[in-house]
A = this chain, B = another copy of it.
Protein backbone atom coordinates (compact mmCIF):
# COMPACT_ATOMS: atom_id res chain seq x y z
CA UNK A 1 0.00 0.00 0.00
CA UNK A 2 1.49 3.30 -1.10
CA UNK A 3 0.37 6.87 -0.89
CA UNK A 4 1.79 9.90 -2.62
CA UNK A 5 3.65 12.49 -0.57
CA UNK A 6 0.75 14.88 -0.99
CA UNK A 7 -1.72 12.47 0.48
CA UNK A 8 0.60 11.52 3.29
CA UNK A 9 1.71 15.01 4.23
CA UNK A 10 -1.91 15.93 4.97
CA UNK A 11 -1.66 13.54 7.91
CA UNK A 12 0.84 15.44 10.01
CA UNK A 13 0.13 16.06 13.68
CA UNK A 14 2.02 19.35 13.24
CA UNK A 15 3.96 20.77 10.32
CA UNK A 16 7.27 22.63 10.83
CA UNK A 17 5.48 25.83 9.80
CA UNK A 18 2.78 25.29 12.41
CA UNK A 19 5.42 24.71 15.07
CA UNK A 20 7.16 27.96 14.12
CA UNK A 21 3.89 29.90 14.16
CA UNK A 22 3.07 28.40 17.59
CA UNK A 23 6.48 29.47 18.90
CA UNK A 24 6.31 32.95 17.42
CA UNK A 25 2.78 33.38 18.76
CA UNK A 26 4.12 32.69 22.24
CA UNK A 27 7.05 35.04 21.62
CA UNK A 28 4.61 37.80 20.62
CA UNK A 29 2.81 37.29 23.93
CA UNK A 30 6.09 37.38 25.86
CA UNK A 31 6.90 40.67 24.14
CA UNK A 32 3.59 42.09 25.41
CA UNK A 33 4.49 40.95 28.94
CA UNK A 34 7.87 42.72 28.71
CA UNK A 35 6.04 45.83 27.52
CA UNK A 36 3.58 45.62 30.41
CA UNK A 37 6.33 45.87 33.03
CA UNK A 38 7.25 49.27 34.44
CA UNK A 39 10.85 50.09 33.48
CA UNK A 40 12.26 49.77 36.98
CA UNK A 41 10.35 46.64 38.00
CA UNK A 42 11.41 44.82 34.83
CA UNK A 43 14.95 44.90 36.21
CA UNK A 44 14.39 44.88 39.97
CA UNK A 45 11.11 43.34 41.05
CA UNK A 46 10.94 39.77 42.29
CA UNK A 47 8.98 37.45 44.58
CA UNK A 48 10.27 34.69 46.84
CA UNK A 49 13.93 35.15 45.93
CA UNK A 50 13.31 34.50 42.25
CA UNK A 51 14.98 36.42 39.43
CA UNK A 52 13.62 39.72 38.11
CA UNK A 53 11.75 39.25 34.81
CA UNK A 54 14.65 40.81 32.84
CA UNK A 55 16.89 37.94 33.97
CA UNK A 56 14.33 35.36 32.86
CA UNK A 57 14.15 37.12 29.49
CA UNK A 58 17.94 36.87 29.25
CA UNK A 59 17.55 33.12 29.66
CA UNK A 60 14.93 32.99 26.88
CA UNK A 61 17.20 35.00 24.57
CA UNK A 62 20.13 32.72 25.44
CA UNK A 63 18.10 29.69 24.35
CA UNK A 64 16.19 30.78 21.24
CA UNK A 65 18.63 32.02 18.58
CA UNK A 66 21.80 30.41 20.00
CA UNK A 67 20.02 27.06 20.39
CA UNK A 68 18.40 27.16 16.99
CA UNK A 69 21.69 28.26 15.38
CA UNK A 70 23.37 25.22 16.90
CA UNK A 71 20.59 22.90 15.73
CA UNK A 72 20.74 24.27 12.18
CA UNK A 73 24.52 24.53 11.85
CA UNK A 74 25.52 21.55 13.95
CA UNK A 75 28.22 23.72 15.52
CA UNK A 76 28.23 23.35 19.31
CA UNK A 77 27.99 26.53 21.33
CA UNK A 78 28.05 27.45 24.98
CA UNK A 79 24.93 28.28 26.95
CA UNK A 80 25.22 31.80 28.34
CA UNK A 81 22.21 33.36 30.04
CA UNK A 82 24.18 36.35 31.33
CA UNK A 83 24.74 38.25 28.10
CA UNK A 84 24.32 42.01 28.37
CA UNK A 85 21.47 43.42 26.28
CA UNK A 86 21.52 46.88 27.85
CA UNK A 87 19.83 48.49 30.80
CA UNK A 88 16.51 49.56 29.27
CA UNK A 89 13.37 47.72 28.24
CA UNK A 90 13.71 49.34 24.80
CA UNK A 91 17.04 47.59 24.25
CA UNK A 92 15.59 44.23 25.27
CA UNK A 93 12.63 44.75 22.95
CA UNK A 94 14.92 45.66 20.06
CA UNK A 95 16.89 42.46 20.63
CA UNK A 96 13.62 40.53 20.89
CA UNK A 97 12.45 41.77 17.47
CA UNK A 98 15.82 41.10 15.89
CA UNK A 99 15.70 37.53 17.19
CA UNK A 100 12.16 37.08 15.86
CA UNK A 101 13.53 37.56 12.35
CA UNK A 102 16.55 35.36 13.00
CA UNK A 103 14.33 32.55 14.28
CA UNK A 104 12.26 32.73 11.09
CA UNK A 105 15.42 32.56 8.98
CA UNK A 106 16.92 29.67 10.94
CA UNK A 107 13.67 27.70 11.05
CA UNK A 108 13.39 27.84 7.25
CA UNK A 109 16.65 25.88 7.11
CA UNK A 110 15.29 23.09 9.32
CA UNK A 111 14.03 20.20 7.22
CA UNK A 112 11.23 18.01 8.53
CA UNK A 113 13.63 15.06 8.70
CA UNK A 114 15.65 16.81 11.39
CA UNK A 115 12.97 16.87 14.11
CA UNK A 116 13.45 13.26 15.21
CA UNK A 117 17.25 13.48 15.15
CA UNK A 118 18.96 13.05 18.52
CA UNK A 119 21.29 15.90 19.45
CA UNK A 120 23.09 17.18 22.53
CA UNK A 121 22.29 20.87 22.69
CA UNK A 122 24.77 23.26 24.31
CA UNK A 123 26.86 20.17 24.98
CA UNK A 124 24.46 19.00 27.69
CA UNK A 125 20.78 18.64 26.72
CA UNK A 126 20.42 15.31 24.97
CA UNK A 127 17.21 14.55 23.14
CA UNK A 128 15.49 14.88 19.82
CA UNK A 129 15.45 18.19 17.98
CA UNK A 130 11.69 18.08 18.61
CA UNK A 131 12.04 17.71 22.37
CA UNK A 132 14.66 20.46 22.51
CA UNK A 133 12.45 22.86 20.54
CA UNK A 134 9.46 21.94 22.70
CA UNK A 135 11.60 22.84 25.69
CA UNK A 136 12.28 26.28 24.17
CA UNK A 137 8.55 26.99 24.01
CA UNK A 138 7.58 25.33 27.31
CA UNK A 139 10.35 27.09 29.20
CA UNK A 140 9.23 30.42 27.77
CA UNK A 141 5.60 29.79 28.82
CA UNK A 142 6.86 28.77 32.27
CA UNK A 143 8.94 31.87 32.96
CA UNK A 144 6.50 34.25 31.29
CA UNK A 145 3.78 32.95 33.62
CA UNK A 146 6.02 33.88 36.53
CA UNK A 147 6.13 37.37 35.00
CA UNK A 148 2.31 37.30 35.06
CA UNK A 149 2.36 36.81 38.84
CA UNK A 150 4.86 39.67 39.22
CA UNK A 151 2.54 41.92 37.19
CA UNK A 152 -0.51 40.89 39.24
CA UNK A 153 1.40 41.52 42.47
CA UNK A 154 2.27 44.97 41.05
CA UNK A 155 -1.46 45.50 40.40
CA UNK A 156 -0.90 45.50 36.63
CA UNK A 157 -3.27 43.61 34.34
CA UNK A 158 -1.21 41.21 32.16
CA UNK A 159 -2.18 40.52 28.53
CA UNK A 160 -4.68 37.72 27.92
CA UNK A 161 -2.95 34.33 27.75
CA UNK A 162 -4.64 33.54 24.44
CA UNK A 163 -3.58 36.84 22.81
CA UNK A 164 -0.91 35.76 20.33
CA UNK A 165 -1.49 38.44 17.69
Contacts and interface: CB of A to CB of B under 8 A. Distances in A.
B113 A11 contact: yes
A130 interface: yes
A32 to B, nearest CB: 14
A142 B139 contact: no
A79 to B, nearest CB: 14
Given A48-B149, A113-B11, A161 B141 contact: no
Interface in A78-132: 112-113, 115-116, 130-131
16 contacts: A10-B113, A11-B112, A11-B113, A13-B13, A13-B16, A14-B130, A26-B138, A48-B151, A48-B154, A48-B155, A141-B141, A142-B144, A143-B145, A145-B145, A146-B146, A146-B149
